[in-house]
């Protein structure tokens, strides 16, 4: 994997969070995601972003993730993203540490710092960041407000769709339109 430029900054009001502005990775650009934007991915998803309060218990978070069949929750205070809580947090910080999920607060074991993206960035950038940081979920934040969540599964589905479209176009080119 050939990582090019990685530029990040900490936006005001999102303490401890990193907003990715520019990442260039050649292998993803060749993979068909170079011209697709995050807003394209977010438009195909439910507008309701699964979120939880930092004061909620780990058990409540696990129940919500199981109910919605998802691997991460945005931890929010009001409309402000605070952190992310993931399956890995449960495994690594609760189960392995032998903490009680009934009494342990999400705030005590959530992922920090959280990496975010903007809704107008390119999905290739998100894919590069996810690969480089070994994460599977990127909350999308615009003007300090949570607007969505992009998962590695979303990116894979988008890439598969693009590849299928390319295959169909090439087939039609080679065999003529019917």
pLDDT in tens, 108-126: 999 888 898 887 878 888 8
What total number of domains does the chain contain? 1
**pLDDT (0 to 100) of residue 70:** 93
Write the pLDDT tens digit of every residue in 16-43: 333 333 333 333 334 444 445 445 555 5
Q: What CATH number is attached to the domain comprising 109? A: 3.10.580.10
Quote the tokens at residue 153. 């599964």
For residue 48 the two structure tokens come to 């309701």
- Indicate the burial class of 174 (C-beta count within 10 angstroms; 0-12, 13-18, 19 or more): exposed
Q: Mean pLDDT across the chain, nearest whole number?
A: 77
HSE of 61, CA atoms in CB hemisphere, 13 A: 33
What does DSSP assign to residue 37? B
Over residues 68-93, the mean pLDDT reads 93
Q: Is 162 exposed, middle or buried (0-12, 13-18, 19+ CB in 10 A)?
A: middle
> What does the pLDDT read at residue 46?
58
Residue 177 or residue 129, greater confidence? 129
Q: Read off the tokens for 80.
A: 């402000």
Q: Which two tokens stand for residue 46?
A: 């439910």
Determine the pLDDT at residue 84: 94
Segment 139-157 mean pLDDT: 85
At 5 the pLDDT is 30
pLDDT higher at 71 or 143: 71
Which pLDDT value is given to residue 44? Answer: 54
How many Å apart are CA 72 and CA 86, to the nearest integer?
4
Which whole number is the average pLDDT over 83-106? 96
What is the pLDDT averaged over residues 161-177? 87
Residue 40: the pLDDT is: 56
Tokens of 148: 């969505």
- What domain range is 29 assigned to? 3-175
Quote the pTM value: 0.68
Q: 62: which residues sit within 8 A by CB, 6+ positions away? A: 90, 101
| 3-state SS, one letter per residue, for 116-171 | EECCCCEHHHHHHHHHHHCCCEEEEEECCEEEEEEEHHHHHHHHHHHHHHHHHHHH
* Position with higher pLDDT, 57 vs 3: 57
User: Percent of the chain beyond pLDDT 90?
Assistant: 37
Residue range 143-147: average pLDDT? 84
∠ Cα 58 64 67 (to 5°): 140
């Amino acid at each position: 994997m050939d990582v090019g430029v990685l530029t990040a900054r900490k936006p005001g009001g999102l303490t401890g969070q990193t907003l990715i502005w520019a990442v260039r990775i050649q292998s993803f650009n060749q993979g068909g995601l170079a011209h697709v934007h995050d807003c394209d991915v977010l438009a195909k998803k439910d507008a309701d972003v699964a979120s939880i309060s930092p004061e909620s218990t780990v058990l409540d978070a696990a129940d919500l993730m199981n109910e919605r069949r998802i691997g991460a929750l945005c931890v929010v205070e009001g409309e402000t993203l605070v952190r992310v809580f993931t399956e890995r947090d449960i495994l690594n910080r609760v189960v392995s540490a032998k903490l009680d999920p009934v009494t342990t607060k999400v705030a005590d074991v959530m992922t920090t710092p959280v990496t975010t993206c903007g809704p107008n960035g390119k999905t290739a950038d998100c894919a590069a960041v996810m690969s480089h940081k070994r994460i599977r979920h990127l909350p999308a934040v615009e003007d300090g407000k949570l607007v969505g969540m992009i998962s590695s599964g979303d990116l894979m589905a988008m890439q598969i769709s693009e590849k299928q479209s390319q295959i169909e176009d090439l087939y039609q080119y080679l065999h003529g339109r019917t």
